[in-house]
Structures are given as structure tokens and as C-alpha cells.
């Protein structure tokens, strides 16, 4: 049976773009279907615009604490509308670059919702009228539609923002209540507070960043508290209502708060609803699509990558999944994605980075008797003359039996830049002795990784 295309990619985010571009570079006839701008979550409403806001928050933080260096700022003003406008312009520029790269590779772009008619046919649907604009068919279909913010089922929830809404703001609020204790909630709490917004943060559990090493969680908790973010642990949002132009939040505990706005950042979930997957009867893994080691679903010609499968939901992971898919099926290369020692970062201020096993994970796998912890905490030299004396924390988790480094964790400035090189070392099977035998670069923060002795 002949099809119009060799490959249809549903979703033009990081993973879908990577797959479409690489498949097209091998000579495949490729179509991509996208309902929004080209670029997906990372480019449009995630990593990129958020990191630009982090730079703004860091710059202001440094400016207000620079008097010890002789840099006197009598008055620092922040115009949030300028920042938000510039962020949107940069996002549009990047989206345009991606669109042009697709054109150069002769990838056909269809604007609209992708909806399955059958295993080889996808309808392009107008998101407003739900009219079918076009039907396209292909030998293989790759689903890469990404995720969407989870929505709380509480009264008044539609009055609150999701993380997707932040980048469409015209100005920052004076007061903000943030719901959630994960990386999205903590990052935005840091951004808003360092740019002058008063922040209250509601956390369901008793720790920030569930799943991260507990020492990292504790460091962040101390830092955010010292910054003036009002952390409310072991509590949940019960309802929201509007009162005289402001929003009143009522918690399960009975506490009430009145703020300009509310941001619900309680995680993300796969955006699969619009695809009409019930027509295909694909196997699921909880809320995610079930795939094998080469990202093939239970239907042999349909594949899935990115935030809709139960793998680390990170941009570089989705990109690699897309490229591996294209290499395997359009260049016959027989590749697999390496999920070992994937570095992660949380762009709070200071930031967090981690690679490998946390102390808790290592203890569970190898037992407490078989692991050794090396850890140091200190005030970085950059804070010597600042009022802000936030500390750095560096930590190594080591397997006693073979001296292998199992995990590396850091809290402090430039943590994400430092951990990238450490992840290369972990993938190479580095030992603690290798760290000890490496000469330090002084004076730096990263030198502490090779000077920790127990």
C-alpha cells in the first residue's frame, strides 16, 4: 500500500523536530503537524523563556548586593513588561529558525490538531471549529505532542494561572501564591521573589523537590526561606475565589491568603486527549503510552517519544529519542537511547544540579553499609563582600566495594555548568580515586569535587 508520506510527526516540539529533521536528512518524505507555534514546550513556554527570566532575576539579585564590591546602586527599578516583551520576541525568533530549518529539509508542515483516523491516517483538524482541514497518511507515525500542566479539581481553579500562562503576562504581580513543591514551582518562586514579587508557596508534603537528594532539598529550603519566600508545608489548596480584584486562597488547614494572583504548578501530564487514541487501542503504562526499547507502541507502525512516555521528561532526552528513532528506521543504524547518568538541573537561585543516584536511592540499592558519602558546604568567594551569604553544597555518593562514583550533587552558583562535565565522567565509570588524582583548579567552586577526603 502506498502512502503520501514516509513519516508523519504529530507535535513539533524538541523531540518531534529532531526526528523530522533527521529522517528528512536521510531522504524520507516527512510531514509534521502542530497546533501551536513550532518549537514545543521547551522553546515556547518552558526551558528557554524560563531561563531568560532566571538571568534577569540573577542580575537583579547581584545588583542589590554589590555594595561590598564598591558598586553603589541607590535605586534599582525593574520593568517587568520589558522583560516579558523581550522574552516573547526571543521565543518567536527561535520558533522562526526552527520553521526555516524544516523548509530547507522539505518537511511539510500542517497547522492544526493531529487526530488519528486509523493507524496510518491522521486528520489535521481546526482547533476552533473542529472541522477536518486535511487527511494525511504515512507508513510510520511518531507521536510527540508533549505534556500539559496538571489541573487541580477545586472550586475556582480557572481563576489561577498555570505555568504556560506566565510567559503571556504583561506585568508581574506584587503578590503571588504558588502551589507545588516541584522544580517548576520552585523555579518560578525564585524568579518572582528575586524580581520583587512577594511569594507564598504551598507544598503538599514536608519537603521540596520530591525525588531529589534530600541534602539538595534542605539546601534549597534554607535558601528560599532566607530569601523571604513564605513556605507552607504539609498543606493543600482547597478553593479559590475573587474578592475585590484579588484572589483568596483557602487551604485545607483553614488558612486563607489574599494575593494578586495564584500560580498552580503541581506538575505536568501527557497531552494525549485530542489524538483520539481510543480508535487504535494502544497499550498504556498508567497515563503514559507504553513503548518498547526503540519507542515503538503496541501498534508496530506508531511510535512515541518525549513527555508522553514513562522516561525522563527532559528536552535532551526527547531530542535523543527522536534522533535514535530516525537513525533506526530511516538509516538502519540499530541504536538505543542511553538513560544512564542523565544530568538534571533546577534553575532556582542558587541553582541545583544532579547526576546519578541520590544518597537515598543508593542506600536502597546497595545498602547503607556499602556506600560512603563525601560532602562539603561553604560560602563561595563570589559572596565574600555580599550581604547575601548563601552557601554551596557539593556531594559525592560512592560505592565502597569498587570505589565507583554513584551520584554527584550540587547546590550553588554555576551548578548546572559544572555537573555537565561530571556526567561525562560518570558515564566513563569514574572512581573516587580518579577524582582524588585530578589536580584542582584554584580558586573555583568545582575544585571542591576533587579535594573532598573522608
Determine whether the annotation assigns residue 46 to a binding site: no
Asked if residues 242 and 261 have their Cβ atoms less than 8 Å apart, the reply is no
Q: The C-alpha cell of 218 is what?
A: 534542605
What integer pLDDT is reported at residue 454 of this predicted model? 64
Rounded Cα distance between 440 and 27, Å, is: 48
Only one residue has cell 507515525, namely 141
Determine whether the annotation assigns residue 356 to a binding site: no
Determine whether the annotation assigns residue 156 to a binding site: no
Q: Enumerate the β-bridge partners of residue 343.
A: none
Domains of the chain, each with CATH number or no CATH: 5-148+270-330 (3.50.50.60), 151-266 (3.50.50.60), 344-450 (3.30.390.30)
Rounded Cα distance between 189 and 187, Å, is: 5
| 96 noted as active-site residue | no
Q: The C-alpha cell of 388 is what?
A: 547575601
Q: The C-alpha cell of 50 is what?
A: 524560563
Asked if residues 450 and 436 have their Cβ atoms less than 8 Å apart, the reply is yes
Residue 380: closest CA among 409, 407, 410: 410
Asked if residues 295 and 309 have their Cβ atoms less than 8 Å apart, the reply is yes
3-class secondary structure, 254 = coil
Phi-psi region of 44 (alpha: psi -120 to 50; beta: other; left: phi over 0): alpha
Instruction: Specify the pTM.
Output: 0.95
What integer pLDDT is reported at residue 72 of this predicted model? 86
Rounded Cα distance between 159 and 245, Å, is: 11
The set of residues, in sequence order, having a beta carbon less than 8 Å from that of 287 and lying 6+ positions away, is 269, 270
Q: The C-alpha cell of 228 is what?
A: 523571604
| 451 to 188, 241, 384, 417, 444: CA distances (angstroms) | 34, 54, 21, 19, 12
Determine whether the annotation assigns residue 181 to a binding site: yes
| 371 to 129, 357, 368, 453: CA distances (angstroms) | 59, 11, 6, 15
What integer pLDDT is reported at residue 126 of this predicted model? 97
3-class secondary structure, 360 = helix
Determine whether the annotation assigns residue 182 to a binding site: yes
Asked if residues 45 and 164 have their Cβ atoms less than 8 Å apart, the reply is yes
Chunked mean pLDDT (size 10), the chain, 454 residues: 93 98 98 96 94 96 90 88 97 97 98 96 96 97 97 96 95 98 98 98 97 96 96 98 96 97 97 93 96 96 98 97 98 94 97 98 97 96 88 97 98 96 94 96 95 83
Rounded Cα distance between 174 and 170, Å, is: 13
Determine whether the annotation assigns residue 184 to a binding site: yes
Q: Where are the alpha helices (DSSP H) in 241-400?
A: 315-330, 359-366
Q: The C-alpha cell of 339 is what?
A: 538513560
Determine whether the annotation assigns residue 51 to a binding site: yes
Q: The C-alpha cell of 93 is what?
A: 525568533
What integer pLDDT is reported at residue 279 of this predicted model? 86
Q: The C-alpha cell of 9 is what?
A: 510527526
Q: Which helix (H) or strand (E) holds 8?
A: strand 5-10
Q: Which helix (H) or strand (E) holds 97?
A: helix 80-104
Strand arrangement, sheet containing 237-243: 237-243, 246-251, 256-259
Residue 175: closest CA among 197, 159, 160: 197
The residue annotated as part of the active site, out of 98, 276, 409, 442, is: 442
The set of residues, in sequence order, having a beta carbon less than 8 Å from that of 264 and lying 6+ positions away, is 149, 150, 151, 152, 157, 160, 161, 162, 179, 180, 237
Residue 353: closest CA among 441, 428, 268, 445: 445
- Under DSSP, the state recorded for 309 is B
3-class secondary structure, 168 = helix
Determine whether the annotation assigns residue 218 to a binding site: no
The set of residues, in sequence order, having a beta carbon less than 8 Å from that of 83 and lying 6+ positions away, is 52, 53, 56, 195
Amino acid at each position: 500500500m502506498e502512502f503520501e508520506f514516509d513519516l508523519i510527526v504529530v507535535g513539533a516540539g524538541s523531540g518531534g523536530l529532531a526526528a523530522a529533521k533527521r529522517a528528512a536528512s536521510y531522504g524520507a518524505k516527512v510531514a509534521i503537524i502542530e497546533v501551536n507555534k513550532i518549537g514545543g514546550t521547551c522553546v515556547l513556554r518552558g526551558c528557554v523563556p524560563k531561563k531568560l527570566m532566571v538571568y534577569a532575576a540573577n542580575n537583579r539579585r547581584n545588583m542589590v548586593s554589590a555594595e561590598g564590591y564598591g558598586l553603589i546602586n541607590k535605586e534599582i527599578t525593574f520593568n517587568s513588561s520589558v522583560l516579558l516583551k523581550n522574552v516573547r520576541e526571543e521565543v518567536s525568533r527561535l520558533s522562526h529558525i526552527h520553521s526555516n530549518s524544516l523548509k530547507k529539509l522539505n518537511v511539510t508542515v500542517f497547522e492544526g490538531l493531529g487526530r488519528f483516523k486509523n493507524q496510518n491516517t491522521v486528520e489535521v483538524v481546526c482547533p476552533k471549529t473542529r472541522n477536518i482541514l486535511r487527511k494525511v497518511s504515512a507508513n510510520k507515525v511518531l507521536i510527540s505532542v508533549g505534556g500539559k500542566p496538571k489541573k487541580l479539581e477545586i472550586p475556582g481553579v480557572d481563576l489561577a494561572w498555570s505555568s504556560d500562562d506566565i510567559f503571556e503576562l504583561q506585568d508581574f504581580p506584587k503578590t503571588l501564591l504558588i502551589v507545588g513543591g516541584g522544580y517548576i514551582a520552585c523555579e518560578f518562586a525564585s524568579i518572582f521573589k528575586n524580581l520583587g514579587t512577594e511569594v507564598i508557596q504551598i507544598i503538599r508534603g514536608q519537603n521540596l523537590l520530591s525525588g531529589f537528594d534530600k541534602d539538595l532539598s534542605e539546601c534549597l529550603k534554607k535558601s528560599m526561606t532566607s530569601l523571604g519566600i513564605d513556605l507552607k508545608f504539609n498543606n493543600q489548596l482547597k478553593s479559590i475565589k475573587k474578592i475585590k480584584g484579588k484572589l483568596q486562597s483557602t487551604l485545607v488547614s483553614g488558612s486563607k491568603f489574599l494575593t494578586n494572583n495564584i500560580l498552580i504548578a503541581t506538575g505536568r501530564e501527557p497531552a494525549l486527549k485530542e489524538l483520539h487514541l481510543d480508535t487504535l487501542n494502544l497499550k498504556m503504562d498508567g497515563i503514559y503510552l507504553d513503548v518498547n526499547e526503540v519507542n515503538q507502541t503496541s501498534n508496530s507502525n506508531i511510535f512515541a517519544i518525549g513527555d508522553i512516555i514513562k522516561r525522563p521528561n527532559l528536552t535532551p532526552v526527547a531530542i535523543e529519542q527522536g534522533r535514535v528513532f530516525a537513525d533506526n528506521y530511516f538509516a538502519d543504524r540499530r541504536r538505543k537511547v542511553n538513560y544512564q547518568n542523565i544530568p538534571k538541573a533546577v534553575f532556582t537561585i542558587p541553582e541545583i544540579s544532579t547526576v546519578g543516584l541520590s544518597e537515598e536511592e543508593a542506600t536502597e540499592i546497595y545498602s547503607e553499609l556499602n556506600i560512603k558519602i563525601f560532602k562539603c558546604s561553604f560560602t563561595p568567594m563570589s559572596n565574600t563582600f555580599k550581604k547575601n551569604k548563601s552557601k554551596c553544597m557539593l556531594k559525592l555518593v560512592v560505592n565502597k566495594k569498587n570505589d565507583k562514583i554513584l551520584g554527584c550533587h550540587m547546590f550553588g552558583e554555576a551548578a548546572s555548568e559544572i555537573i555537565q562535565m561530571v556526567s561525562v565522567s560518570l558515564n566513563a565509570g569514574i572512581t573516587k580515586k580518579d577524582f582524588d588524582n585530578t589536580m584542582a583548579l584554584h580558586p573555583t567552586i568545582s575544585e571542591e569535587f576533587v579535594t573532598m577526603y573522608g
